[in-house]
């Protein structure tokens, strides 16, 4: 039968998987045998210890064993139902089934049964739709007593099918598995090899063994990811790039309205060195909000354009594109360079003009959203691509974008998230890292306060005062529209209230993610110019809005945000040299722990300290804000709970390039959609 299958072979190769089942598995992102094997159970039922019925309590996951003493079928307005009473030596419990969940004729008086499920209290204790194992089956290998895996499923698949397939898959790959983690790491966790780890993840002998196997698989996944990134980086150092003649930093600085901070200078020099090198630059610039990353990007653009090449700046939103156009445009304009703005909203005639200008004069700077990557844009002289705010690109996407041009352009990625070192190693290991760890002088101080219910009216008075002084206010809400269940005030409702209240005379506006891009830009610009003094918004303002006149930010239901996210948000105020205030208003249901967490923001403004705290409390997901950062969705590892593992991975030396090639051959299933052929 199916012996010696490889993990990258289709689930089709397993007996019992035909077209229909294949489609169902696909819904769970399971396409290959490897996918199936890393579809680890969400939990286990510990059937080693069968509970005496008399000891059951509501809420526990129980496994009980006994005989059916009676079966009753009922019909009510809600439809048919069936209850069976199961008894052991100590007592009885009912098993309840509605409509579709009938166990059929198997459930008869006198039948021996093992039932698993959560005990509920309803006219005595009951288990609704328990999993049932009839005595004769319980002896079979697949459903042997012990730890019973419970899988995440999709409609049409049963636990039983899933268990059977996993057992088949485990059997099938027994002789073909190659270890990925170093042998000593596997041995230290008490396993004999990768097969043993997979076996234990699905059919452990104890809950502890199941947990350590699952953890090892998560570690393996992160380790593989980190190793792939390291390989990408190593490969990039051998590719031919576009060495660009250097520009004097002094001269650049002499055209700026202020002098560069020491950190900005250092990073500019690192960038300049990269761009003069033989292979393409891959650099991540990390710096807290307001640390002045834009000018570094502008410097890189100037280096490219003065060398006769095109520089492109890719922004995630139209708002940011417009903003970069004005700031980078201003810096570059001083060097007599031409700067173009191209977004989805750019008109046909303007597109034509940009295209003609770029052909005629490639030594310019093109700023925009994804539209700049469209085929019609003449970018044959592209020598630099700046990607703002980590965009939503995965590594594969980015590398593909760059590798399709020859020679490969330099790439500069800018992130406003201070990322703890351990995370950076794991997630951005394909990039060289520059950190701008200094805030330009002359900044006002931002005072942060956590406000309780009694402080709200003071905050309101204070806001009115600032408005009369001609300053501007952000009111931030976690949601655009509250869901039915939630009693949270959402941005749209809050806006209605503000608009009809005393603040209305200063001009109010609403900004949220699902507005058409042009409207977003319009509202932001009005706020920037001061036509609107109160901007009610969701977190869309998080990404890079620069409004120097804004001095107050009030964040509602602040406990719902991660600390790093709050830190990002508050970085939007106090940019104009004036002092600023950030008020964190927790919701009524905020826990004491979450309030304590918020207080950290009162005492520090160091993004790295805040990120470390987030990392220790809630895991990398909080720090990175997940989906926005182009980090793949891991199959086993969980960014909210596996924080420690990210640290562990950063301390391991990655799999060498030669070996990773072989591994990737049979591990590609891990990174579907990840084009690794280029590395």
Residue numbers at the binding site for ligand ADP (CB under 6 A): 258, 260-261, 264, 287, 289-295, 416, 440, 546, 575
**Shortest Å, Cβ 329 to ligand ADP:** 13
Q: How far is the CB of 385 from ligand ADP (least distance, A)?
A: 17
DSSP 428-479: STTSEEEEE--PPTTPPPEEEEE--GGGHHHHHHHHHHHHHTT-EEEEE-S-
Query: How far is residue 136's CA from residue 156's CA, in Å, rounded to a whole number?
Result: 25
Contact 203, 147 (CB under 8 A): yes
CB of 540 to ligand ADP, least distance (A): 16
Q: Which is nearer to Mg ion, 316 or 544 (CB)?
A: 544
Interface with Mg ion, residue 620, by CB under 5 A: no
Residue with tokens 């570059």: 332
Q: Which stretch binds Mg ion (CB under 5 A): 60-68, 178-186, 544-552, 604-612?
A: 544-552
By beta-carbon proximity to ligand ADP, the closer residue of 547 and 676 is 547
Segment interacting with Mg ion (CB under 5 A) among 6-14, 167-175, 542-550, 553-561? 542-550
Least distance between Mg ion and beta carbon 322 (Å): 13
Task: List the single partner that 193 binds among ligand ADP, Mg ion, none, CB under 5 to 8 Å by kind.
Answer: none
Output the smallest distance, CB 293 to ligand ADP, in A.
Answer: 4
Contact (CB, 8 A) for 396 and 621: no
Q: How far is CA 491 from the centre of its chain?
A: 23
Q: Residue 650, Cα to own-chain centre: how many angstroms? A: 19
Please identify, using beta-carbon distances, which residue of 110 and 257 lies nearer to ligand ADP: 257
DSSP class of residue 544?
T
Cα-only R_g, the chain:
30
Q: Which is nearer to ligand ADP, 147 or 412 (CB)?
A: 412
Q: Report which of 184, 543, 590, 171 is spatially closest to residue 369, judged by C-alpha positions.
A: 543
111 or 264: whose CB is closer to ligand ADP?
A: 264
Q: What's the closest the beta carbon of residue 615 comes to Mg ion, in angstroms?
A: 23
Query: In terms of Cα–Cα distance, which of 154, 160, 149 is closest to 23?
Result: 154
* CA distance from start to end of the chain: 36
Backbone angles phi, psi at 239, to 5 degrees: -80, 150
Residue 260, contacted partner among Mg ion, ligand ADP, none, CB below 5-8 A by kind: ligand ADP
Residue 292 binds which of Mg ion, ligand ADP, none (CB < 5-8 A, kind-dependent): ligand ADP
Q: CB 507 → Mg ion: shortest distance, Å?
A: 25
Task: Please identify, using beta-carbon distances, which residue of 316 and 586 lies nearer to ligand ADP.
Answer: 316
Exposed e or buried b per residue across 363-388, where buried means at least 16 C-beta atoms within 10 angstroms of its C-beta: bbbbbbbebbeeeebbbebbbbbbbb
Give whichever of 396 and 414 is closer to Mg ion, judged by the CB atom: 414
- Report what 149 binds from Mg ion, ligand ADP, none; CB cut-off 5-8 Å by kind: none
DSSP state letter for 285: E
- Near Mg ion by CB under 5 A: residue from 478, 509, 544, 586: 544
How near is the Cβ of 331 to Mg ion at its closest, in Å?
13
Applying CB under 5 A, the residues found at the interface with Mg ion are 544
């Amino acid at each position: 039968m199916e012996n010696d299958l490889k993990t990258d072979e289709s689930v089709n190769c397993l007996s019992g998987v035909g077209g229909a089942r294949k489609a169902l598995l696909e819904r769970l992102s399971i396409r290959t045998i490897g996918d199936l094997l890393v579809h680890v159970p969400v939990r286990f039922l510990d059937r080693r210890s069968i509970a005496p019925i008399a000891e059951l309590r509501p809420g526990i996951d129980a496994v009980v064993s006994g005989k059916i003493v009676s079966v009753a079928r009922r019909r009510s307005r809600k439809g048919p139902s069936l209850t069976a009473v199961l008894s052991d030596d100590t007592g009885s419990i009912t098993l309840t089934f509605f409509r579709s969940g009938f166990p059929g004729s198997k459930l008869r008086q006198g039948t021996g049964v093992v039932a698993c499920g959560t005990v509920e209290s309803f006219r005595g204790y009951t288990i609704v739709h328990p999993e049932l194992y009839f005595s004769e089956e319980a002896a079979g290998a697949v459903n042997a007593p012990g730890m019973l895996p419970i899988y995440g499923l999709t409609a049409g698949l049963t636990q039983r099918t899933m268990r059977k397939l996993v057992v088949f898959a485990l059997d099938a790959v027994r002789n073909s598995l190659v270890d990925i983690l170093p042998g000593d790491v596997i041995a230290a966790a008490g396993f004999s090899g990768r097969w043993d780890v997979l076996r234990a993840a699905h059919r452990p002998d104890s809950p502890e063994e199941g947990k350590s196997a699952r953890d090892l698989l998560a570690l393996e996944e992160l380790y593989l990811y980190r190793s792939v990134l390291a390989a990408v980086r190593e490969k990039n150092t051998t590719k031919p790039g576009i060495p660009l003649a250097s520009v004097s930093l002094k001269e650049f600085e002499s055209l700026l309205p202020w002098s560069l901070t020491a950190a900005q200078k250092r990073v500019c020099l690192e960038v300049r060195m990269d761009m003069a090198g033989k292979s393409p630059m891959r650099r991540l610039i990390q710096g807290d909000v307001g640390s002045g990353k834009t000018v570094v990007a502008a410097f890189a653009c100037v280096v490219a354009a003065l060398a006769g090449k095109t520089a492109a700046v890719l922004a995630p939103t139209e708002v940011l594109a417009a903003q970069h156009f004005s700031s980078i445009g201003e810096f570059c304009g001083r060097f007599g360079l031409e700067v173009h703005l191209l977004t989805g909203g750019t008109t046909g005639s303007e597109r034509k003009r940009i295209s003609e200008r770029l052909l005629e004069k490639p030594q310019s700077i093109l700023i925009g959203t994804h539209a700049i990557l469209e085929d019609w844009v003449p970018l044959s002289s592209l020598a630099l691509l700046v990607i703002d705010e980590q965009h939503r690109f995965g590594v594969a996407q980015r590398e593909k974008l760059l590798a399709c041009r020859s020679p490969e352009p330099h790439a500069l990625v800018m992130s406003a998230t201070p990322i703890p070192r351990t995370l950076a190693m794991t997630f951005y290991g394909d990039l060289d890292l520059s950190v701008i760890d200094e805030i330009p002088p002359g900044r006002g101080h931002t005072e942060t306060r956590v406000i309780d219910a009694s402080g709200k009216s003071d905050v309101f008075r204070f806001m009115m005062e600032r408005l009369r002084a001609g300053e501007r206010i952000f009111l931030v809400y976690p949601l655009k529209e509250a869901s039915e269940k939630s009693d949270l005030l959402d941005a749209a409702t809050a806006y209605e209230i503000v608009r009809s209240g005393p603040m209305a005379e200063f001009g109010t506006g609403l900004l949220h993610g699902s507005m058409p891009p042009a409207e977003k830009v319009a509202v932001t610009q009005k706020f920037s110019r001061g036509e609107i003094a109160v901007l009610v918004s969701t977190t869309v303002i998080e990404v890079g809005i620069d409004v120097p006149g804004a001095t107050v930010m009030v964040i509602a239901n602040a406990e719902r945000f991660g600390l790093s996210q709050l830190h990002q948000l508050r970085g939007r105020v106090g940019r104009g040299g004036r002092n600023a205030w950030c008020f964190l208003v927790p919701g009524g249901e905020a826990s004491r722990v979450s309030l304590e967490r918020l207080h950290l923001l009162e005492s520090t403004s160091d993004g790295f300290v805040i990120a470390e705290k987030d990392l220790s409390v809630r895991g990398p997901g909080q720090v990175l804000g997940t989906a926005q950062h182009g980090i793949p969705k891991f199959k086993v590892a969980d960014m909210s709970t596996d924080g420690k593992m990210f640290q562990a991975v950063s301390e391991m030396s990655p799999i060498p390039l030669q070996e990773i090639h072989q591994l990737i051959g049979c591990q590609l299933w891990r990174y579907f959609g990840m084009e690794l052929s280029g590395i």
